[in-house]
Structure 1
Amino acid sequence: MNFKSTIACAAVVTLFCVAIAPTTVSAQDELEKRATWSFPDQLTVKADLDKYLSESEVSEAIQQQIAILWEIPIESDDRSLLLDQLINSFALANKDVRELTARLDTTPATAANIIPTMLTDESQDDFLRNNLRLFYARWLAHSDLQDECLQVLEGITPSQVVDPATLLFYQATGYHRILAKDVCLQKIDLLLENEEQLPRRYSTIAKLMKADVEPLKSDSLDEVARLMADIRRRLKLGRAGTRVRKEEDDVIAKLDKMIEELEQQQQQQQSGSGGGSSSSSSPAQDSSNLGGSGPGNVDNKSVKEGDDWGALPPRERQKALQQISKELPAHYREVIEEYFRKLARDEG
């Protein structure tokens, strides 16, 4: 190969490297951008556990029992098994954890009206407390106690627990259940950053939740129906407090607004179609006589100040209900029926 050919080859290689370099850097940047959290490996978790056991002055015999639990690697991709194994280790080493986990096995979650003290005690070791909070919150979520679950998880970040996917998943499901749309979508997007490493049930449900909540509009019948479902959930769990009363008031206010908008639309339609036989395509002159033979009296029987839908007689109320709920899905009709029942109770 002569000198000129060598120079030509070098130039081609240089151009090729320059061409692919931005693509490679771009791919790396995209990966770093997406991966804002990661799964800790089993060896790292075991090292953190050994540090806790050493600082807690756990006996040698207990440490040997715990070591046996960790001798066989967890082969499953389900990282929640790693959380369970860690909690079992804590239970062997810590009497309070042992009593708490035993209580969870025998006590219904609906009876958990108070968060255990050790979950809120900041003097506890952070590694112990944060992972125990996640374990406890998962137990609450399995009984549909979403508010309590979110309360326990508040402030925990993915880097503080051994199973960040479970943390983000139950935060997302909790916010989805209480209709906190924006926060729910944030948690779902964060969870799906590591979609390929997630348990399939997590990724599938996360995508379903996103598709479900993304089109949700404020003050829509869909939102009202969901609020009513959340009210029923809370009442069924015996959580009839301030939050339920607020949601009930929100439902009434949203339905009042929708009904008012329907009335306005109906009035506009009637005004647009009631021009009479003297209509013209050009505006009337100020001094012209438009004709007509009516006496000029106004019928005041339906123009009473203070009239509203809540004051309608039962028969008229039922007629209005049928008009409003015409062609709507059944669960929307139930919402509107409940609205009128509440108005009737308030009047009584």
Structure 2
Amino acid sequence: MKHWFPSTQKKTVVEHRLQRFVVIVCACALSTSLLAQEPIPVPIPLKEPVAEKAEPVELLAPPSGVDLKLQLQSWVAEQKVKNPAQLKMIANLLVKLEAPLSAEEKLNLALEIFSNVKPKAKQLIKDYRISDQLPQLSNPPILVDGEADTIYLANVRYYVARNLTQFRMVDRALNIFNSIQPKTLIDPAGFLFFKAACEHHLLQKKDCGKTLDQLLNHTESVPERYRQVAVLMQADLETLKEESLDEISRKMSDVERRLDLGNSGEKVQKVEDEIIASLDKLIKKMEDQAKNSSSSGAGAGNSSSPEGGADESRVKGQIAPGEIDKKKLSNNGGWGQLPPKKQASAKNIINRNFPSHYRKAIEKYFKKLATQKANTNK
């Protein structure tokens, strides 16, 4: 398991919680096996909240080549460009809009025109282009001052936010996305898709749901690749439960992402605290389920056993006290005294009862424990 906590103390706390959780899962799994594979009781889901009154949603569509050409010509005129060579280059770019182009291709042409007219835009587009290195972050007025409600500001900010998303800088990207008025965008489908990707990664379930609904149901000319991934994100959100192991694992991945990017401030520490609190609640829930499972199993055993069966057992016609060998329990985080076949049986139960990424996480955790034990014994 990667050390994704900057604080050694918090890292130790989370590892302790995970160890307890894995032990409880194994105990519940073995108990389930012994009780004829009876499933662990599932809590009754809460009633769905009353649906809020839907607000009218505006239909978004990319501008046609003709409309975009007129908008860009008007913008160039407002900049009072007088250099003949510059005007000729812009005219050659505008002619290309007469051919059928995708929204992304139209955006690239517009950005080229912005770069030709505005040196600051040219530098910004260069700084945030996709490359093998992370961009040098800055806060120029073009990115942070007010709302982007013009064709120039909206599309330059969208370009930067889109590329920040691909650099995994989703927090900063989402701040920029939220400052953009989508009506002036050349590629509204791309804007909604990447904005939803940021919200999905940050587990902003409600906001992401609205963005995906706008993309899938109220936006024209959505590329098929965006549509397919958006449907998957929508389905994923519907199954995501608050404070579930799934949500906890995603928060852990988010902390790891932030640390990889060199972020370890208050936001990271806040997510760390949320992870620890969620683990505590999940462990408490699993412990309660384990107790209930043990109680019901003991009751079933007593009701089906003959009187006095708990005190004595009969083997080959002989009567002997009903005792078993005491096992020495281990607190080293391993599988205790379980023989290999029992270990395999427990793992199989985990495989059946939990999604595959849970199994991988548990296996990875046990491998780490085994490595630590081997290093300790050296």
2:340 counterpart residue number: none
Q: Say if 2:221 is the partner of 1:197.
A: yes
Q: Of the two structures, which has the highest relative contact order with CA contacts closer than 8 Å and spacing of 6 or more?
A: 2
* Counterpart for residue 42 of structure 1: 65
Q: In structure 2, how many angstroms separate the alpha carbons of the residues matched to 1:130 and 1:256?
A: 44
1:198–1:106 distance in 2 versus 1, CA, 3 Å = closer
State the match for 2:253 in structure 1.
Answer: 229
The reply on whether 1:161 has 2:185 as its aligned counterpart is yes
Q: Amino acid of the residue matched to residue 139 of structure 2?
A: I
RMSD, aligned CA:
3.6
Matched, 1:271 2:321: no
**Displacement, 1:191?**
0.7
1:170 aligns with 2:194: yes
Letter in 2 for 1:56: Q
Q: Deviations over 1:18-70 (max 9, x none)?
A: xxxxxxxxxxxxxxx77622222122222222222222111242222111111
Residue 91 of structure 1: how far off its partner (Å): 0.6
Identity %: 31
1:165-314 paired onto structure 2 within 5 Å: 165-193=189-217, 197-274=221-298, 314=331
CA distance in 2, matches of 1:175, 1:53: 35
In 2, Cα distance between equivalents of 1:132 and 1:316: 53
Contact 2:202–2:254, Cα closer than 8 Å, also in 1: yes
Q: Tell me the equivalent position of 2:81.
A: 58
Q: Deviations over 1:161-198 (max 9, x none)?
A: 12111111111111111111121111111011256621
Which of 141, 156, 159 pairs up with 1:132?
Answer: 156
Kept in 2, the 8 Å contact 1:175–1:184? The answer is: yes
Structure 2, unaligned stretches of length 5 or more? Answer: 1-55, 304-328, 337-342, 369-378
Aligned match for 1:112, one of 127, 136, 140: 136
If the length of structure 2 is used for normalisation, what is the TM-score?
0.64
SS in 2 for 1:63: helix
Q: In 2 relative to 1, CA 219–89 (structure 1 residues): closer, same or farther, beyond 3 Å? A: same
Distance of aligned partners of 1:243 and 1:97 in 2 relative to their CA distance in 1, 3 Å threshold:
same
TM-aligned CA distance change 1:147 to 1:338, over 3 Å: farther
Structure 1 pair 133/173, CA: closer, same or farther in 2 (3 Å)? Answer: same
Query: Which structure 1 segments of 5+ residues have no match?
Result: 1-32, 280-311, 342-348
Residue identity in the other structure for 1:315: N
1:201-253 Cα offsets, whole Å, 9 max, x none, are 21121112112222111111111121122222222222222222222222221
1:332 is matched with which residue?
Answer: 358
In the alignment, the residues of structure 2 paired with residue 134 and residue 166 of structure 1 have an alpha-carbon distance, to the nearest angstrom, of 9
Give 1:149 deviation, angstroms.
Answer: 0.9
Against the structure 1 CA distance between its residues 114 and 107, is the aligned structure 2 distance closer, same or farther, given a 3 Å change threshold?
farther
**Is the CA contact (8 Å cut-off) linking 1:78 and 1:198 kept in structure 2?**
no
For 1:332, the aligned partner's letter is Y
Distance 1:114 1:34, change over 3 A: closer
Q: 1:174 to 1:76 in 2, by over 3 A?
A: farther
Aligned length: 281
Are the aligned partners of 1:109 and 1:140 in contact in 2 as well (CA < 8 Å)?
no
* Equivalent residue, structure 1, for 2:332: 315
Q: Greater helix percent: which structure?
A: 1
CA drift at 1:117:
2.9
Q: Which residue of 2 aligns with 1:99?
A: 123
Paired residues of 2:170 and 2:198 also in contact (CA < 8 A): yes
The answer to whether the 8 A contact 2:251-2:271 is kept is: yes
Q: Work out which of the two has the higher radius of gyration on C-alpha atoms and give 1 or 2.
A: 1
